Amino acid sequence: MPNASETSDALVSVQNLRKEFDISGGILEQLSLRRGRIVRRRESVKALNGVTLNIARGEALCLVGESGCGKTTAGRAIIGLLAPSGGEVHYDGRRIDRLRRAEMLPYRKKMQMIFQNPYASLNPRKRVTETLLEPARFHFPEQSEAEHLRRVESVMESVGVDPAWGARFPHEFSGGQRQRISIARALMVDPEFIVADEPISALDVSIQAQVLNLLMRARAERGLTYLFITHDLSVVGHFGDRVAVMYLGRICELGETREVFSAPRHPYTRALLSAIPKIGKDESAHIKLAGEVQTPLDLPSGCVFRRRCAHADEQCARAVPELHDIGASRVACHAVADGRI
């Protein structure tokens, strides 16, 4: 568990966050016949299994993992789009995961989100100016329309979209420009903290660099704190101060990006890092994982990674590994804790 001092200077603090999705459907689909008896069975996907992390004011924390690892669910639970099944989310020292919509409003000005799909994240029926005005009008009703418009103009300029294009509809823009507009919408309320869910993975390479630069500049100018969710490790290496590696709803390694990249400790982090296709390096170093990517439908007992891990033993099947301080990072692995790796 994080100690008190660590919690207090964190802007966002997440403790033992859990989320299950019930996928058993309606009551009729839950019923089945077994040995002559009708039984009701409920199935759920355990997307988050106790995620604990703190995000310090002003830092960029990258949450990285493969599809289905729960990184997007974690981001949505933290921003309040999903109600967690268990655990707590604190913002600036106050618990926010059980708040009602109206009680949440003060935090809506401080926390914003940027989405993955630039083609779905803007309302196709709204002109760009209207999309950007909406958060300003809602959160700053005391300001005049002229002030709102001035704000729209300055934010559009700061994300590199010509304010003269405000009267256009989203479909008249390219993917990269739409993503800029999405970022502009998040910046309209002058937030402190932004959850960016795969904001560049739908974009072309040359456009990715533009958007990444924009996010970094916005951070420098506005002192933003980021939770940056991505599957792309090369972006993590460039963008994140710290990185949290997720596997099947748990964090397996958490630490300074430089530290984790230069000396990964968890077997999964090692395999992941070795798998990035790199330019100018030999491919042969790739570490192969046993078995298939697992689904969060039937989680193994103990360590969620053990069925694919070359170092797993019976202790890994018995006990869930907690995050321990190992060197400068925190690692959830029995083998690492015992010094077997």
- Rounded to a whole number of angstroms, the minimum distance from the CB of residue 327 to other proteins is 19
Choose between 66 and 322: whose C-beta lies nearer to other proteins.
Answer: 66
Query: Considering the rule CB under 8 A, would residue 217 count as an interface residue with other proteins?
Result: yes
Intra-chain end-to-end CA distance of the chain, in Å: 24
CB atoms within 10 A of CB 208: 18
Q: Read off the DSSP letter of residue 43.
A: -
- Residue 50 C-beta: closest distance to other proteins, Å: 23
When asked if residue 237 is in the footprint of other proteins (CB under 8 A), the reply is: yes
Q: Which is nearer to other proteins, 23 or 105 (CB)?
A: 105
- Site stretch for other proteins (CB under 8 A), options 33-41, 104-112, 147-155, 315-323: 104-112
3-state DSSP of 302-335: CCCCHHHCCCCCHHHHHCCCCCEEECCEEECCHH
Does 299 sit near other proteins (CB under 8 A)? no
Give SS3 for 154: helix
Residue 329 in contact with other proteins, rule: CB under 8 A:
no
Please choose, out of 2-10, 170-178, 299-307, 333-341, the segment that lies near other proteins by the rule CB under 8 A: 170-178
Number of residues in contact with other proteins under rule CB under 8 A? 72
Closest to 30 in 3D by CA, of 18, 39, 21? 39
Q: Does 234 bind other proteins (CB under 8 A)?
A: yes
Residue 108 touching other proteins (CB under 8 A): yes
Whether the CB-CB separation of 128 and 134 falls below 8 Å is answered with no
- Choose which of 20, 134, 190, 259 interacts with other proteins (CB under 8 A): 134
**At closest approach, how far in Å is the CB of 4 from other proteins?**
30
Residue 83 within binding range of other proteins, rule CB under 8 A: no
**What residues between 240 and 279 interact with other proteins by CB under 8 A?**
257-258, 271-272, 274-279
Number of Cβ within a 10 Å radius of residue 253: 28
Restricted to residues 183-202, the positions that interact with other proteins (CB under 8 A) are 185, 189
Q: Which of 213, 221, 319, 327 binds other proteins (CB under 8 A)?
A: 213
Token couple for 102: 């109206």
Contact between 288 and other proteins per CB under 8 A: yes
Please name the amino acid found at residue 179. Answer: Q
- Choose which of 144, 205, 298, 314 interacts with other proteins (CB under 8 A): 205
**If you write DSSP's letter for every residue of 164-229 in order, what string do you get?**
GGGGS-GGGS-HHHHHHHHHHHHHTT--SEEEEESTTTTS-HHHHHHHHHHHHHHHHHHT-EEEEE
User: Among 70, 84, 87, 176, which residue sits at the site for other proteins (rule: CB under 8 A)?
Assistant: 176
User: Shortest approach of other proteins to residue 319 CB, angstroms?
Assistant: 25
Binding mask of the shown chain, residues 58 to 77, with x at each position contacting other proteins by CB under 8 A: --------xx--------x-
Residues 22-51 that bind other proteins (CB under 8 A): 26
Instruction: Count Cβ atoms below 10 Å from residue 309 Cβ, excluding itself.
Output: 22
In whole angstroms, how close is the CB of 29 to other proteins at the nearest point? 13
Question: Does the footprint of other proteins cover residue 314 (CB under 8 A)?
Answer: no
Q: Going by DSSP bridges, is the β-strand pair 37-40/111-114 parallel, antiparallel, or unpaired?
A: unpaired
With contact defined as beta carbons under 8 Å apart, do 15 and 2 qualify?
yes
Tell which phi-psi region holds residue 60, choosing left (phi > 0), alpha (psi between -120 and 50) or beta.
beta
